[in-house]
Amino acid sequence: MKHVVYKTQGVCSQEMRFDLNDDGTVTNIEIIGGCRGNTKGVARLASGRKAEDIISLCKGIPCRGDNSCPNQLAIAIEQALNEQ
């Protein structure tokens, strides 16, 4: 298991924390800052899913231009996978 702390860029949230488990699932997602209801909803819906599934569902979702908190989560997970 790898614990990830990711500093977001260009969105309302400031940081994302999650665990990337050995089986490829992402758990214990916490999004700091941002729109509280949306970030809690994204975290709850994504938790327990395979990393690749979260990336395919969230990458490219726009909010502020071409970026959003879900997009930042996808980027954070991609980076964590690439660092393994």
Give yes or no for residue 60 having a pLDDT over 90.
yes
Instruction: Check residue 49 and report its DSSP letter.
Output: S
Stretch 47-74: mean pLDDT, rounded?
A: 96
So what's the pLDDT on residue 84?
81
CATH 3.90.1010 fits 2-82, yes or no: yes
Determine the angle formed by the axes of helices 36-46 and 51-58, rounding to 10 degrees: 140
- Residue 51: pLDDT band (50, 70, 90) is very high
Q: What is the pLDDT of residues 64-83, one digit of tens each?
A: 899 999 999 999 999 999 99
Residues 6+ apart with CB under 8 A from 60: 66, 71, 74
Which residue in 36, 35, 37, 55 sits closest to 46, CA to CA?
Answer: 55
Stretch 42-60: mean pLDDT, rounded?
A: 98
SS3 state at 42: helix
Q: What is the pTM of this model?
A: 0.96
